[in-house]
Amino acid sequence: MKSDLLLKMLRDRPGFMRRHQAEIARMLRLAERDIVDLTGRQLAVLREENDILRKQLSEWYENAAVNDMIGAAIHALVLRILRSRDGKLSVAAIDRMFKEEFTSLDLQIRKAKLFSVDQLDLSDGQARKLASAGVVAGKKPAAEVAQLLKGRQYAAYLHIPLLGARSRLAGIAVVASDNAKAFPAGAYDDYALRLGEVLAAALALVGK
């Protein structure tokens, strides 16, 4: 029955309301309770959505702060490389600067190591594979550098190929962290590629 017809029927029959007053009152109380329950559920959903939004904003803020630190470290590394162009630039010197700039950050990075392609015992096929693989994160060091990474194991590794002329492999940079979630997929690509370009350019200057 449509609501307007029901209301008309009740107006035309006031005795019906008096005879069933108790039942009608009970039905009204149930309706009020349902409204209260619905409001409570809506408030709970809003609080949950607000908590999710607050968490996302906090993560964005932390990521922005991390990106600022990484940008500052890359900038400092570039300046140190440029200032070393007086015949003293070597693979060991670049490796040392890389380590000092990146393990000093509050990024939970505990190891930063650079290897030139001459230090890696690679076949042509392995070198091409590493060059084309892009930035790779993992729980273990890549097999190509595992023997060269002395010291204890870490929870997460990031491997950055350093590309020289004609996109040939010039070396590889590795950073490691005790935090297993330090290098979430996609979150590191931008800064890792920029860092790789800087280190590859530095390797190209060795001996010049």
pLDDT tens digits, residue range 86-111?
667 889 999 999 999 888 777 678 88
* Amino acid type, 73: A
pLDDT of residue 150: 79
Structure tokens at 169: 């492999």
Task: Please indicate, yes or no, if residue 47 is contained in any of the structural domains.
Answer: no
Task: Please indicate, yes or no, if residue 103 is contained in any of the structural domains.
Answer: yes
Tens-place pLDDT, residues 170-205? 999 999 988 887 777 666 677 888 899 999 999 988
Print burial letters for 83-108: b (CB count within 10 Å at least 16), e (below 16).
ebeeeebebeebbebbbebbbeeebe
Share above pLDDT 90 across residues of the chain, in percent, rounded to a whole number: 17
Tens-place pLDDT, residues 124-138? 888 898 888 888 888
Average pLDDT, the chain: 80
Task: Please indicate, yes or no, if residue 3 is contained in any of the structural domains.
Answer: no
Cα torsion angle, 58, 61, 67, 68, sign: negative
pTM over 0.75: no
Domain span at residue 157 reads 64-205
Whether the predicted pLDDT of 51 surpasses 90: no
Task: Please indicate, yes or no, if residue 147 is contained in any of the structural domains.
Answer: yes
Whether the predicted pLDDT of 208 surpasses 70: no
> Hey, which of 8-22, 33-47, 48-62, 66-80 has the most confident mean pLDDT?
66-80
pLDDT of residue 200: 92
pLDDT of residue 191: 82
Number of structural domains the chain divides into: 1
Higher pLDDT, 87 or 118: 118
Given phi > 0 = left and psi -120 to 50 = alpha, else beta, which region is 115? Answer: beta
pLDDT of residue 30: 59
Q: Answer whether 149's CB lies under 8 Å from 126's CB.
A: no
Task: Please indicate, yes or no, if residue 6 is contained in any of the structural domains.
Answer: no
Distance CA 132, CA 66 (A): 27
pLDDT of residue 163: 92
Task: Please indicate, yes or no, if residue 9 is contained in any of the structural domains.
Answer: no
Whether the predicted pLDDT of 48 surpasses 60: yes
Task: Please indicate, yes or no, if residue 192 is contained in any of the structural domains.
Answer: yes
CATH number of the domain encompassing residue 166: 3.30.450.40
Task: Please indicate, yes or no, if residue 193 is contained in any of the structural domains.
Answer: yes
